[in-house]
Amino acid sequence: MPFKYLNQIIYNEDASLRDVLSDLGKWAEFLDNKGFGIIVDDDGKCKGVLTDGDVRRKVLKNVDLETPVKNVMNKDFIYVSVNDNYHHILRQFDKDITILPVIDLNGKLVDLYKYSEFVVSARNDLRIIRARVPCRVSFSGGGTDMSSYINKTPTSVLSATINKYCTCSIIVGKDNKIYISSKDLNLKYTAENYNDIELGDDLDLIKSSVKIMQPNFGFELETHAEFAPGTGLGGSSAVVVSVLGALNYFRNEQQLDIYQLADLAYQVERIDMRIKGGWQDQYATAFGGFSWINFRKNEIIVNPLLLRKETILELEYNLMLFRLGETRSSSEIQKSHISKIEKNSTNLDSFSEMTELSVKMKESLLKGEIKSFADFLHESWIIKQKINSSVSNDLVEECYNTARELGALGGKLLGAGGSGYLLIYSSPLYQKKIIEALAKKGVTQEIFKFSQDGLEVWSTKK
């Protein structure tokens, strides 16, 4: 906020010394007990300053009090520009100056800095807060992370995050209005405050994420996702965690920890928005990296896997990601999946088999046994189809079988199933043929790298 009494200490250069003198001391208590005035011309441009010390010196020299103030003001005064950085401002205060006029590019007064109130860290420059969250690739255990299962039986999921991100950016406003926009969806929404946010469009996931954080200030919020929704990468969780993470920045000493943020993301998606699914996406994207996620009856524990660098590089060299070109409703597939679990007890045996296989896959990665991991990846895909036949379709089967016939060792469809991304493990010797064969089916490869970081939050100048 500009100095409150700025207009009261501005005087025209043609005013008499007597008029200025009679007024100069009125505002001293707000200026560290110093009489101080800014002298401007008819255009409002700053021409000089006058202090009570300047006046006393002129009076002692018998200067006529009717003299125009422009004849006695200090024309060589020290000031700063609106664009000056912190360091330059401190340099001026270092000249034993306690009050600094702030001048705009047109030479007009816009503010006043007092040394008694000037703290570098408190300068109110407009800043952007950003939070970035990666998508996840689930290798094994997906589907066993449903509440209906983990409430009865402990289980685990093996996952990793890749370099496809959702980024949320926030700029604090001057009132309580909230502006929400999605760059990738090309949608915008405005509310007077978080209490007035109403659901009913494709921005509901973001809106619900804002509402649950109960921000008591206004802001502009923008999200940008490097992936299409409904493609099996846990993208909706990445969106939610990015929004929660950005707003969490403003909670100061009441900031939520990473486990609380993951739980809150689950609450937004699964409970508030009623999007069916398990628990792994929120935790995998929030924590990032290669994770072994343990699901217990009353808690979830994320164990980061310390893999050797050459293991990760070899995985990146042999794994290929193919976009099937369609999206689907994960929630609808999960509803069917949950229903089948509850009706068919034989699925529980398959879940147990999946969990045992996940342990083997984790251990193969820790030991750097990449080929064994690829074989287990194939077995995991077979079990996943036994648990829920709707996870696949003719195109998925055709692509996967073609890749296997051409030399691929293993792979799986990511996410709940139906479409999205197909992960294939193949020696580089066969990759070119596989890529060309799938391209003829309209399925294209997308290059990726593993991301070792989960939620990242930072600030920058606007």
Same domain, 292 and 179: yes
Give residue 346's pLDDT band: very low, low, confident or very high (50, 70, 90).
low
Domain hosting residue 79, numbered range: 7-122
**H-helix segments, 114-226:** 147-150, 204-213
Q: Which residues are catalytic?
A: 281
10 Å CB burial of residue 241 (0-12, 13-18, 19+) is: buried
Q: What is the mean pLDDT of the chain?
A: 89
Q: Are residues 292 and 316 in the same domain?
A: no
**Segment 204-220 mean pLDDT:** 95
User: Mean pLDDT lowest for which of 323-327, 338-342, 387-391?
Assistant: 338-342
**Do 151 and 34 share a structural domain?**
no
Q: What is the CATH number of the domain that holds 335?
A: 3.30.70.890
pLDDT confidence tier of residue 24, bands split at 50, 70 and 90: confident
Do 359 and 263 have their domain in common? Answer: no
pLDDT for res 433: 98
Whether the per-residue pLDDT at 104 is higher than 70: the answer is yes
Whether residue 1 lies inside any domain: the answer is no
Pull the structure tokens for residue 170: 């926030």
- 3-state SS, residue 421: strand
Average pLDDT for residues 289-296, to the nearest whole number?
Answer: 96
Residue ending a domain, choose from 87, 122, 157: 122
d(CA 283, CA 363): 21
Residue 86 shares a structural domain with residue 235: no
Check whether residue 286 and residue 185 sit in a common domain: yes
What's the average model confidence in pLDDT over 99-107? 91
The DSSP 8-state label assigned to residue 254 in this structure reads G
Task: Please name the residues in contact with 292: beta carbons below 8 A apart, sequence gap of 6 or more.
Answer: 156, 157, 158, 302, 303, 305, 362
CATH number at residue 117: 3.10.580.10
Same domain, 79 and 143: no
Instruction: Please check whether residues 292 and 152 belong to one and the same domain.
Output: yes
- Please state the pTM of the whole predicted model: 0.76
What total of structural domains would you count in the chain? 3
Boundary (domain end) residue, out of 122, 151, 178: 122
- Closest CA relative to residue 245, chosen from 229, 268, 227, 226: 268
Would you say 38 and 46 are in contact if contact means Cβ atoms under 8 Å apart?
yes
Across 105-119, 320-334, 356-370, the highest mean pLDDT is recorded for 356-370
50 and 99 belong to one structural domain = yes
Neighbours of 13 (CB within 10 A): 16
Out of 4-8, 266-270, 278-282, 361-365, which region has the weakest mean confidence (pLDDT)?
Answer: 4-8
Residue with tokens 């110093």: 34
17 and 113 in a single domain? The answer is: yes
- Domain final position from 122, 149, 165: 122
- What pLDDT score was predicted for residue 311? 98
Same domain, 269 and 337: no
The candidate with the shortest Cα–Cα distance to 412, out of 369, 446, 448, 375, is 375
Q: Is residue 2 part of a domain?
A: no
When pLDDT is averaged across residues 449-459 and rounded to a whole number, the result is 96
Radius of gyration of the chain (CA): 32
Q: Are 399 and 415 in contact (CB under 8 A)?
A: no
pLDDT at 123 over 50: no
| pLDDT, position 136 | 96
pLDDT digit string (tens) for 156-186? 999 999 999 999 999 998 889 999 999 999 9
Tokens 């509310």, located at residue: 191
Same-domain status, 213 and 282:
yes
Q: Which of 131, 182, 425, 168 is nearest to 288 (CA)?
A: 131
What CATH number has the domain bearing residue 265? 3.30.230.10
